[in-house]
Structure 1
Amino acid sequence: MPRTVWLLVAARAINRLGAFSLPFLTVLISTDFGASTTTAGLLSAAFGIATIPSRLAGGYLAARLGRRRTIVVGLTGCALAQLGIAAAGSLTAVACFAILLGLAFELYEPPSQAIIADTVPPAERVRAYSLLNAALAVGGTGAGLIAAGLGRYDLRWLFVVDALTCLACALALRIALPADHTRPAAADRTPASQHRELGTPARPWRDRALWAMFTSGTAFALISMQIVMALPLTLDRRGHVAADAGLLFTASAVTVVVAQPALRLRRLTTLTAPAALALGYALLAIGLAGYAIAHTLPAFLIATAVWSLGDVIILGRALTVVADLAPPGATDRYLAAYGISWGIATTAAPVTATQILEHTGVTTLWAATATLALALAAAQLLVVRPLINQEPVRSPADAQRTPDRAGRGSASTTGP
């Protein structure tokens, strides 16, 4: 992997190591300011809603301001907002800083993902994006331990340390990343006639293939966030300590890291992107179905390892497909558009997970979630594959210069 990729991976791990404050935002609002659980939940939801325009702004600013500048602005904004939360003296101030945190929270993602797409060859994008996911997993294993230590003294210190890691990453990336250069005009400045000639839309939301990826990506993000929200409650209802969820999340992180070499297996690299995504969603469904019938901690651990294997396959492939769908100059915006699926899921999951669990119980919750994952597996083959394999209409000269969409999303078909 190029040095830039390793730099982004290392910075992501360090930043994730400090990203332990958000799960405690609701607790801070309730304990320090005496707010009701409903009020605390609404403020957390407001943060989630604010991440949606943040992701879109990340793609826009990366194209206009430059990728390195956008990354630095995003990380610095997160740091300032978290310092504001730590120093806030009223509920109103906390609410304002929480929303500001959401608005800065996702600026980092589109430019960092676009840098990877432009830095590595198409055949290596799956591994590069999977390394980014592994960095999150590695950082997450240590984040819980730091949170457990600092949280015993004062929850506000969690936000201070998180802010310091953001500032450290901003400084490191400002120094180490290549300087922003004037790049070709973004896709929406290209004449519409030229886009029609190339068979690519002028804006991401005009691309039916991106809509297919966005829809399945939103469902996947909802499943992922429901796991985070509902797993501790599930353990409690099955007679375990809710804190054992930390053990399961650590097991998931270890699985993600250990499974990275499997991405180079020839049987996996020769799969087309829709087939690989279908396999990932099938593994996800099997693991979630395991939660529906699990009663012992070892059974929960096995189910966690299975769905985590699905995660390893899905995350890298999905980002690679989206990056490959983007016409020249529009990578930032395509990745930004796709990424707002996580903002939608972050807002919806607390409601869907708790309501289904409250009204139908543990078994139904996980059986329904597994069914959704299985439906996503089928959708990759029946809906997504025809769209990303659709060959655009081009002039003969363009056809010789530019690979058609039939090759997109299956760039990793070469062996290791």
Structure 2
Amino acid sequence: MRAHAGTLDSATVDPEKERLGRPFWYLWTGTCLNKVGQLLPAFFTLYLVHQHLATVQTAGWIVGIQGAGSIIASLLGGLLSDRFGSRRTIVYSQLATALFAVALGLAMPLWGLAAVAFLSGCTTTIHRPAGAALVAGTVPASQRARAYGLLYWASNIGVAVAPTLVGAVMELAPRFMFALNAVTSVAYAVIASRIPEPTVGGGRKGGLPHRTWLQSFRHAVNPFVRLPIAPFLFLSFVISAIYLQCRSALPVDMAAHGLSPGAVGLALSVNGVLVVVLQPVASQFSGPARLLPKLVLACGLIGLGFLLHGFWHSEIGYVCSIGVWTLGEVVLAPLGSCLIALWARSEEQGAFQAANFFAWNLGLALGAPVGLWELENLGSTTFWTGTFVLALLVAIGHAALAKHHPYGEFGE
């Protein structure tokens, strides 16, 4: 089934309006702010332990519950976006994030802290599928790949700045960490309030379809059973589980091959630096051309980079290997959201973008423990070779799917 929304059809785009536009840059700024002031799991854990609010083990459970909220919110954000509008979803979720950030700094029993942490994880993540839907509805089709790439860049700028800023704030007073989160969330809400709701359906600006809550939940499940979205989501889940080994199996493997914690951190920091430097450059060359070759290239680079980890165990070897799969990450970053924007109708963008984020987050949740188990039982060389084979299978899967469904703004 090829779902092409009239308002998203690239043939209707006015060539004179082929630019990102002011609404996108509002969204870009808000996304960057959201990440700069985010409540980082590492610092939240330190706060809980150092303030004697929880043991190390209990703090780990609380942070895990917060992460579970983020995964659930990947779907919830799409449901709310399609039901109430993307802009409203962003604004109210950020205001709720500010409220829960303040609450986390208050004295309460552990069960209350866990409940607020879960809600905080939800509201912090809800804006992501809503933002992706806004791009699909406000940015011309020919500029979407560039827009999604730049949005990913904004997120990584925030991620790069956040640890230093949050750490400095905690030095002044630990609870100021929550105040920073609240301030940046309110700032994002104010900025997002200036973004117009995209035109949907029959050309009615902000004319959202009326649905009952039951219909909305069914609508949110639809991406997981509809072609070509469902198989694409599975392929995204697999490549996510491979890529996100950089957060779990890779540091363990590097330490096992004699790298000190400082060397591990330095090598892994290459990824963040390269993304911040290369993403805006790559986005300049992101156009409406066919997306299949880019997906195949991205999967190949990610697979090759991780394959090298099985054979190149020096510090310079790890740095070079990380550089290879980072190039794949930079190429891959905007492609999923671009394809979702192509395949989903305008009134479905929130739910379908949310499904894409959910598949990616699920790759992290399941890929980390499975990867660590395989690394321990299979050994480094066999494990990383397996990730390479899986990445190639994902590339083949995209090629097979593209035979029946468009993998580019103007068809495949």
Interval containing the TM-score (normalised by the shorter chain): 0.7 to 0.9
Query: How many residue pairs are counted as aligned between the two chains?
Result: 380
Match of 1:195 in 2: none
Describe the superposition over 1:395-414 as per-residue Cα deviations: whole angstroms up to 9, x where unpaired. Answer: xxxxxxxxxxx3xx312799
Match of 1:183 in 2: 207
Q: 1:158 and 2:177 equivalent?
A: yes
Aligned with 1:2 (options 6, 21, 27): 21
- Partner secondary structure for residue 185 of structure 1: coil
CA 76–34 in structure 1, closer or farther in 2 if over 3 Å, else same? same
The answer on whether the counterparts of 1:78 and 1:101 sit within 8 Å (CA) in structure 2 is yes
Report the alpha carbon displacement of residue 17 of structure 1 after superposing the two structures with TM.
Answer: 1.6
* One-letter code aligned to 1:183: G
CA 159–306 in structure 1, closer or farther in 2 if over 3 Å, else same? farther
Match of 1:33 in 2: 53
- Partner secondary structure for residue 293 of structure 1: coil
- Partner secondary structure for residue 266 of structure 2: helix
Match of 2:403 in 1: 386
User: What TM-score comes out, normalization by structure 2 length?
Assistant: 0.81
Q: 1:377 and 2:375 equivalent?
A: no
The answer on whether the counterparts of 1:271 and 1:413 sit within 8 Å (CA) in structure 2 is no
Match of 1:326 in 2: 344
Match of 1:311 in 2: 329
Q: Quote the Cα distance in structure 2 between the aligned partners of 1:155 and 1:349.
A: 32
User: What TM-score comes out, normalization by structure 1 length?
Assistant: 0.81
Match of 1:74 in 2: 93
Match of 1:402 in 2: none
* One-letter code aligned to 1:64: R
CA 214–179 in structure 1, closer or farther in 2 if over 3 Å, else same? closer
Describe the superposition over 1:308-336 as per-residue Cα deviations: whole angstroms up to 9, x where unpaired. Answer: 11112212111100111002311111111
* One-letter code aligned to 1:159: F
> Structure 1: any 5+ residue segments left out of the alignment?
192-200, 390-405
Please show how residues 6-405 of structure 1 align to structure 2 within 5 Å. 6-19=25-38, 21-31=40-50, 32-37=52-57, 39-152=58-171, 156-174=175-193, 176-178=194-196, 182-185=206-209, 203-259=222-278, 260-265=280-285, 272-382=290-400, 384-387=401-404, 389=405
Q: Quote the Cα distance in structure 2 between the aligned partners of 1:30 and 1:363.
A: 37
Q: Quote the Cα distance in structure 1 between the aligned partners of 2:382 and 2:95.
A: 43
Report the alpha carbon displacement of residue 130 of structure 1 after superposing the two structures with TM.
Answer: 0.4
Q: Quote the Cα distance in structure 1 between the aligned partners of 2:291 and 2:244.
A: 24
Match of 1:395 in 2: none
> Structure 2: any 5+ residue segments left out of the alignment?
1-19, 199-204
Q: Quote the Cα distance in structure 1 between the aligned partners of 2:114 and 2:377.
A: 30
With 313-322 and 233-242 compared, the bigger mean Cα shift is at 233-242
Name segments (4+ residues, structure 1) moved above 6 Å: 186-189
The answer on whether the counterparts of 2:84 and 2:208 sit within 8 Å (CA) in structure 1 is no
Describe the superposition over 1:89-119 as per-residue Cα deviations: whole angstroms up to 9, x where unpaired. Answer: 4322221111111222321012211111111
Describe the superposition over 1:287-312 as per-residue Cα deviations: whole angstroms up to 9, x where unpaired. Answer: 11222233333222222221111112
Describe the superposition over 1:343-382 as per-residue Cα deviations: whole angstroms up to 9, x where unpaired. Answer: 4234324422433344444444433333322221221112
CA 270–27 in structure 1, closer or farther in 2 if over 3 Å, else same? same
Q: Quote the Cα distance in structure 1 between the aligned partners of 2:268 and 2:210.
A: 39
* One-letter code aligned to 1:87: L
